[in-house]
Chains A and B, each alone.
Chain A
Amino acid sequence: MSKTLLRMTGISKSFSSVRVLREVDFTVNRGEIHALLGENGAGKSTLMNILTGVVTPDAGRVEFDGKVIAPPITIPKTEAAGIAFVHQELNLINDLKVYENIFLTRELTGPLGRLRKGEMRRQTAELFQRLGVQIDPDALVSGLKASQKQLVEIARALHRNAKLIILDEPTTALNNEEIAHLFDLLRNLRQKEGTSFIFISHKMPEIFALADRYTVLRNGAFVKEGQIADTTPAEVTSAMVGRSLAEGEAYSPRTLGEPVLELDHLSGPGFHDISLTVRKGEILGLTGLQGSGSTELLQCLFGDRSFTAGKVRVKGKALHPGQIHAAMKTGLGMLPADRKENSVVPDLNLLENMVLAGYNLSAWPVRVHAKEERASYQQYQKELNIRAASPAMPITGLSGGNQQKVFLARWLDTGADILLLDNPTQGVDVGAKEEIYHLILQLAAQGKTVLVNTLEIPELRQVADRCAVFYEGGLAAVLPHEEIEANRIMLYSTHAMEE
């Protein structure tokens, strides 16, 4: 039996002409915990989806446990081979009991298809005992904590004789004690049963505490692999980030006005004790790993969710938690992440989508003035360079970048002067990205205050006056423009460095 458990060679994949993976090689040995590293969008998820049969590769081959998995690779084939994926959003059925989840689709049955519940319970209890997990097989999954659900899912994978378990950011929902327990369990399984794990995480301390080997992907290509013992967080980080491209910097310092947005020890869902002051005309970047709390902070400022403690002052006036309408009246506007879910009103046309927010600031006039709306559309079209055939065309007919410009116009149309932009270049092609960032600079020069939450650090570097880095809900650092640099930010946001 060879040492290598999994060997993926020359894996390539394109989604509608965008190359996501380029001839990636990836190997995992038996009985090892292998960290798969890369920035968001580096191709980790696609690679794992290919491995589990969710996505079919354009080229490449997968060899598992000494045998080539014959294409097409499908989910049943990879499951049968012994590959299991424990997703970030767990895949258990909440309304079933623990043992029912473990045996789902492979229930033990007696004559006439009667379920052998007693036997299933007994086997589940045995399995849990083997793992050192204390969960009642009869408990309802909906009543379990996130950490317990994760353990159930790992147990389910083992019950199906998984030889390789993929863990996608398994620690995001866990506290320190639970993380320690999980890690003990993983080490134990590695030792006793020779199970291998692919561990996807952004948190450097965890990777260095747990993993044996690592592989780094960047922009869909293989960059580096090696022993964790032979490297340092700094080295891994720079492999992930790469050399930053020669940036034609559009940024130029501006004189900032008086403070317009003051956060005073603000806490809420997913973030805590944030104090920040933003000045008129400033562009503040927010960044951090997924789930670090910066998105939630913007949502709370806009009143989409409620902050629980602390104070926010907008132009000197205190903001009430959880009231979008009130926030809009103070001059706030938010471009939420996930445009399709949160911004697009598909049954209204472009113009109607653009003017919709303005309708809510005052009930009068009741009548819609089509002529004036068209006039203001033409103005924004010019100003923001919206490429559309007509204001009456369906919003869904526009490209992502143009849609985003329409939604930016939506807020400019309300007269908002503090813009909260959550991941504004998501699903926007490269050219339009540039344009959006130029717009942001332009707006700031006109005296608008802009908060940009994004994971794309090179983009922040082009526009932000300062950058607030989040780690696990707290403010890890606030860097001035000169210090906004991918490597440095990655170190703060993975907690490899503290301020």
Chain B
Amino acid sequence: MKKKWTALWRGYSFAVIFLVIFVFYFVVSNGLTWAGMTNILRHSAVIGLIALGAGLVILTGEIDLSVGSMLAFTAGFSVVVFNASRSALVTLVFALACGLVCGLINGVLVGSARMPSFIVTLATMLIYRSLAQYFCQQLDPSLTGGGNSLYRMNQEIAGYEAMFNFGNSKFLTIPNVGWVLLAVTALCVYLATSTRPGKKWYAIGSNERAAQLVGIQVPRERTAVFGLCGLLVGLASFLWICMNGSADPATSGSSYEMYAIAAVVLGGISMSGGKGRMIGVLFGTMSYTVIDKIIVALKMDSLINDTIKGVILIAAILVQTAGPQLREKFRRKI
């Protein structure tokens, strides 16, 4: 019986962590409404999609540091495409395609060229953001929406209202973007647990050599996972411009790669790959969103935000990794 509980804790500690943080929020927020709760989903949407992508990459034992810059790049150019094409649908397709291509670039370099993912995505992190900032200054103001430090959607175009509405309204009392996050999470969970590609990714992260020797085409699968991560960033970019109507190439998505990785790790996915559940990523992301809200509710300086997030991350990992070790030591002494 006791064994069962420890196994459950090991598998689902992310849910417990979320619950603790959430209860704390519930107490300090003094009368939390349903709208307040569903708002957590809204504020988790963009980072959540990114973290899901990063989570898949981390499952295979790699890392993607470029996702934050990719968001700025894809969102910025999606605004440009929107202003030029005047079509919401074209913008969506572009955002997805742009993210996919950015991800595939990482994927080919890591998968086929066998470069270390840390270095490759560090480089593309620099490249994508720099391109976003450079073109914001260079492109015709009619495309960037007037400014030269911000990509702004032209509000006179008919599609703008549709997109803005999509980004800021609710369906069955839950924000639309929250539904998107839930749907994509479900899709990722399905992909990871119930499909052949998902099993192959776990296998690669768990023992790459064995994966190769059962015939898994590791370079191809790696490329696909990075591409998929890019696709999810593309979708996140689309949500971002729907919610905000603009993208700032200097600050949009800044440090998001770190938040994404933190959410993945808090969600119980091992950085060495092969271990963890995709559903954990959703909880990890929401945990961090709730921390933001707690700080607002307590009227604390928002600059203390990252300190608290960092401490919680260390504490969570300490419990996950050091806990069993300490117990082992303790047992040996007896």
Contacts and interface: CB of A to CB of B under 8 A. Distances in A.
**Are A and B co-members of a single complex?**
yes
B213 A324 contact: yes
Interface stretch (A23-31, A120-128, A359-367, A437-445): A359-367
A346 B274 contact: yes
3 tightest Cβ-Cβ pairs between the two chains A and B: A360-B215, A347-B206, A347-B274
B196 interface: yes
Interface in B207-221: 207, 209-217
Given A366-B195, A368-B196, A345 B207 contact: yes
Contacts of B207: 341, 344-347
A357 B210 contact: no
A360 B195 contact: no
Given A348-B203, A370-B194, 14 more contacts: A324-B215, A343-B213, A345-B203, A346-B207, A347-B275, A348-B199, A348-B202, A356-B199, A356-B203, A357-B215, A360-B215, A367-B196, A368-B198, A368-B199
B197 interface: yes
Contacts of B200: 356, 359-360
A325 B275 CA distance: 26
Nearest to A325: B215
A342 B206 CA distance: 11
A100 interface: no
B231 to A, nearest CB: 17
A359 B201 CA distance: 12
B214 A360 contact: yes
A345 B206 contact: yes
A344 B206 CA distance: 9
Interface residues of B, number: 23
Nearest to B216: A360
A170 interface: no
Given A366-B195, A367-B194, A342 B213 contact: yes
A356 B197 contact: no
Nearest to B198: A368
A304 interface: yes
A256 B31 CA distance: 81
Contact of B194 (A336, A357, A368): A368
A334 B217 CA distance: 16
B199 to A, nearest CB: 6
B217 A345 contact: no
Nearest to A363: B196
Interface residues of A, number: 28
Given A348-B202, A352-B199, A343 B215 contact: no
A344 B197 CA distance: 18
A495 B199 CA distance: 47
B205 interface: yes
Interface string A230-255: 00000000000000000000000000
Interface string B243-287: 000000000000000000000000000000011000000000000
Contacts of B205: 347
Contacts of B275: 347
Nearest to A346: B206
A203 interface: no
B195 A368 contact: yes
B118 to A, nearest CB: 21
25 contacts: A302-B213, A304-B212, A304-B213, A325-B215, A334-B213, A342-B213, A343-B210, A344-B207, A345-B210, A346-B274, A347-B202, A347-B205, A347-B275, A352-B199, A352-B203, A356-B200, A356-B203, A356-B214, A357-B214, A357-B215, A359-B196, A368-B196, A368-B198, A368-B199, A370-B194
Nearest to A352: B199
B217 A325 contact: yes
A478 interface: no
A328 interface: yes
A272 interface: no
A156 interface: no
Given A348-B203, A368-B195, A342 B209 contact: yes
A304 B195 CA distance: 26
B214 A361 contact: no
A352 B210 CA distance: 13
Nearest to B221: A360
B199 A366 contact: no
A324 B196 contact: no
Nearest to B205: A347
A370 B199 CA distance: 12
A347 B59 CA distance: 11
B205 to A, nearest CB: 7
B217 A360 contact: yes
A410 interface: yes
B213 A366 contact: no
A235 B168 CA distance: 89
A345 B197 CA distance: 15
A368 B194 CA distance: 5
A361 B209 CA distance: 18
Contacts of B213: 302, 304, 324, 334, 336, 342-343
A393 to B, nearest CB: 12
A343 B198 CA distance: 19
A328 to B, nearest CB: 5
Nearest to B215: A360
A411 to B, nearest CB: 9
A348 B210 CA distance: 12
Contacts of B216: 356, 359-360
Contacts of B203: 345, 348, 352, 356
A249 to B, nearest CB: 33
A325 B213 CA distance: 9
A37 to B, nearest CB: 34
A197 B194 CA distance: 60
Contacts of A328: 215
Nearest to A335: B213
Contacts of A302: 213
B210 A342 contact: yes
A410 B213 CA distance: 11
A366 B196 CA distance: 5
A334 B196 CA distance: 21
Nearest to A304: B213
A343 B210 CA distance: 5
Given A325-B217, A360-B216, A360-B217, A345 B194 contact: no
A324 B212 contact: yes
Contacts of B197: 366
